[in-house]
């Protein structure tokens, strides 16, 4: 009887172990492959930074304008906006944030793109998608080309393609994003629509009356600790002595003046909820992409890019 009982327990354990393994693997996979975490407005400045390396000599292990390798190019480009990625292509491919994209047709501008070096080998090369119009184009530091260059995803590159990784919000066909933005947004090519709706409902974040009210409010009263960030172009001298918290406040004040509701970072939320001027801006919207694209002035957009440069020091 005791032997039968031991056998019964052993069989239950044999069944349970793989189930536990499956559960743990599933949990880790869900954690590792979550939604993209960075606002789509990071795409342009990251790519623009990468493009400053065009023609720079390929150097294995390099990470400067005197020589740079493929993963170094990605690291330096993302680091310019305060995003720090693993230093090698394999680590970047396995990075716990973002989501994998296995279909070439689903790639979007800003996605990382990974390649193998030959038959059956693992990931050995990385680039970043710069365009998906017509054929996919990507920028990379190529040992074959001997420098940083742009190539089409065709021929050997299409054959060597393994996957893409999306660290930014997914951009839909109408230019909107699918995931909740974080409380920052450095660059955008959005244009104000040629014709605006004539609605007067101030509760709509796309209402022309809402925009008119917000613009009037910010341009006449310019509330906040750093009103100059919405009034004129900032200089290095303005920012060089500010710490990261002061820079963050300055950047988020620009959005808040235009009706953006801070709601993600608890410290930022707490700070702004304590500001009387912020409490009186009503209604608010959580759509930072819209605020950035359609409400901020060009001066404010440029200031945001400069502020984030200093935040990434």
d(CA 137, CA 131): 5
Contact 218, 230 (CB under 8 A): yes
pLDDT at 179: 45
Q: One fold for both 40-166 and 208-311?
A: no
Q: What is the pLDDT of residue 197?
A: 31
**CATH H-level superfamily of 40-166:** endopeptidase domain like (from Nostoc punctiforme) (3.90.1720.10)
**Measured between alpha carbons, how far is residue 148 from residues 77, 81, 142 in Å?**
13, 20, 6
Residues in the chain: 313
pLDDT for res 20: 38
pLDDT tens-digit readout, 63-80: 999 999 999 999 999 998
Spell out, as residue ranges, where the chain has pLDDT lower than 50. Answer: 12-34, 179-220
* pLDDT value of position 35: 53
Q: How far lies 75's CA from each of 64, 79, 201, in Å?
A: 11, 6, 45
Q: Where are the domains of the chain?
A: 40-166, 208-311
The structural architecture, per CATH, of the domain 208-311 is Up-down Bundle (1.20)
pLDDT of residue 1: 53
pLDDT at 8: 52
Predicted confidence at residue 249, as pLDDT, reads: 94
Residue 234 makes CB contacts below 8 A (sequence gap 6+) with 228, 303, 306, 307
pLDDT at residue number 238 = 93
Burial profile 136-160: b = 16 or more Cβ within 10 angstroms, e = fewer: bbbbbbbeeeebbbbbebeeebeeb
Instruction: Select from 187, 224, 212, 217 the least CA-distant residue to 303.
Output: 187
Q: Measure the CA–CA gap between 243 and 65, rounded to whole angstroms.
A: 28
């Amino acid at each position: 009887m005791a032997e039968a009982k031991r056998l019964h327990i052993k069989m239950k354990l044999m069944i349970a172990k793989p189930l536990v393994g499956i559960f743990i693997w599933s949990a880790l996979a869900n954690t590792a492959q979550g939604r993209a975490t960075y606002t789509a407005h990071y795409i342009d400045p990251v790519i623009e930074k990468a493009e400053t390396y065009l023609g720079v000599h390929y150097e294995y292990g390099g990470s400067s304008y005197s020589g740079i390798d493929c993963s170094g190019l990605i690291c330096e480009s993302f680091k310019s906006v305060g995003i720090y990625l693993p230093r090698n292509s394999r680590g970047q491919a396995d990075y716990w944030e973002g989501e994998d994209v296995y279909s070439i047709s689903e790639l979007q501008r800003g996605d990382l793109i990974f390649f193998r070096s030959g038959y059956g080998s693992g990931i050995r090369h990385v680039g970043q998608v710069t365009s998906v119009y017509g054929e996919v184009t990507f920028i990379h530091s190529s040992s074959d080309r001997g420098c940083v260059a742009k190539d089409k995803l065709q021929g050997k590159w299409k054959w060597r393609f393994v996957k893409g990784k999306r660290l930014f919000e997914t951009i839909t066909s109408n230019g909107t994003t699918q995931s909740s933005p974080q409380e920052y947004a450095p660059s955008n090519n959005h244009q104000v629509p040629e014709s605006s709706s004539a609605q007067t409902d101030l509760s709509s974040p796309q209402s022309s009356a809402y925009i008119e009210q917000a613009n009037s409010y910010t341009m006449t009263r310019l509330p906040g600790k750093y009103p100059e960030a919405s009034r004129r172009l900032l200089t290095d001298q303005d920012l060089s002595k500010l710490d990261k918290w002061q820079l963050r406040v300055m950047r988020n004040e620009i959005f808040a003046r235009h009706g953006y509701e801070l709601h993600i970072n608890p410290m930022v939320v707490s700070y702004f909820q304590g500001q009387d001027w912020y409490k009186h801006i009503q209604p608010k919207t959580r759509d930072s992409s819209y605020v950035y694209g359609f409400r901020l002035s060009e001066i404010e957009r440029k200031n945001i890019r400069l502020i984030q440069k200093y935040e990434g020091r």
